[in-house]
Amino acid sequence: MKTTIPSDVLSAVITALRTKSPLVHNITNYVVMNNSANALLAVGASPVMAHWVSEMEEMTAIAGALVINIGTLDDKWIEGMLAAGKAAHRRGTPIVLDPVGAGATSQRTAAAMKIIEECHPDIIRGNASEIMALVDASVKSKGVDSSASSDDALESAKRLAEDTGAVIVISGETDYITNGSEVYTVEGGSPVMTSVTGMGCTATAIVGACAAVVADRMVAATAAMALMSLAGERAAAYSRGNGSMQINFLDELYKICHE
């Protein structure tokens, strides 16, 4: 694994996660709730998966970060996301958005854009097609999978950062993190990670945890992607397929953060 941020900075982020154990409020999809919760526990954070509209104000008040993931949408979920996002923005609580499947349907892209416009996320993490679709609605994705490389999306990410004020994270063979002017990178991980459902959503959850303990959004996002990459590399070395990879990834993430 290679990354822009030095190892001592990554180590400091890990220490902050363990000592502060931030509560990360996830409004995420049915597919990944268990994966994301376990990954947050592995890095030392405390997860809560809540999407009931009526409790958004109170739940947001006690959270160190809010993660909004639009993987499985309906009108009530969108209402809850908007309520939580507006409450978090008022409080200055960091907000991380994962625009899952943006570009797959016009409704999904529109929902992501509405959240951006009304909630003002601090960090947006997605694959190349998703990020490009938020800049150009004519871009189409392959469901929740990217049809473009992270290299292809870098200029779109810079523009999106400038338009929204958010730090943009593109996941791919090389992860790019940009605020519109600076660009940080993370290289590594394993191709097997793309065969494990929810790895991108897990990355977003960990970005939220890091944002809860690190004020610098570029550093927080890069540290999270570095943790994903390093755990993925180590797990792939002895995994026999995507099933064992999923379990081994969590174990490696735990070991990195607790040893």
pLDDT at 143: 52
The neighbouring-strand residues paired with 113 are none
Q: Where are the domains of the chain?
A: 2-258
Identify residue 207 by its one-letter amino acid code: V
Q: What is the mean pLDDT of each run of 10 residues along the chain (259 residues)?
A: 90 96 97 96 97 95 97 94 98 97 92 97 96 84 60 93 97 94 94 91 97 97 97 95 95 92
Tens-digit pLDDT profile for residues 127-162: 999 999 999 867 766 555 555 678 889 999 999 999
pLDDT at 97: 98
pLDDT at 1: 81
Tens-digit pLDDT profile for residues 27-62: 999 999 999 999 999 999 999 999 999 999 999 999
Closest CA relative to residue 226, chosen from 169, 164, 150, 182:
169
* Alpha-carbon distances, residue 112 vs 41, 171, 213 (angstroms): 27, 17, 25
pLDDT at 151: 85
pTM over 0.85: yes
Other Cβ atoms less than 10 A from the Cβ of 96: the count is: 33
Expressed in angstroms, the distance from the first to the final Cα of the chain is 18
C-alpha to C-alpha distance for 229 and 79, rounded to whole angstroms: 33
E-strand ranges in the chain read 2-3, 23-27, 46-49, 65-69, 95-98, 123-127, 167-171, 174-178, 183-187
pLDDT at 147: 53
* Domain 2-258 in CATH 3.40.1190.20: yes
* H-run or E-run covering 130: helix 128-135
* Residue 159 token pair: 């523009």
* Residue 175 token pair: 């992860």
Q: In this structure, what are the phi and psi dihedrals at residue 39, rounded to the nearest 5 degrees?
A: -65, -40
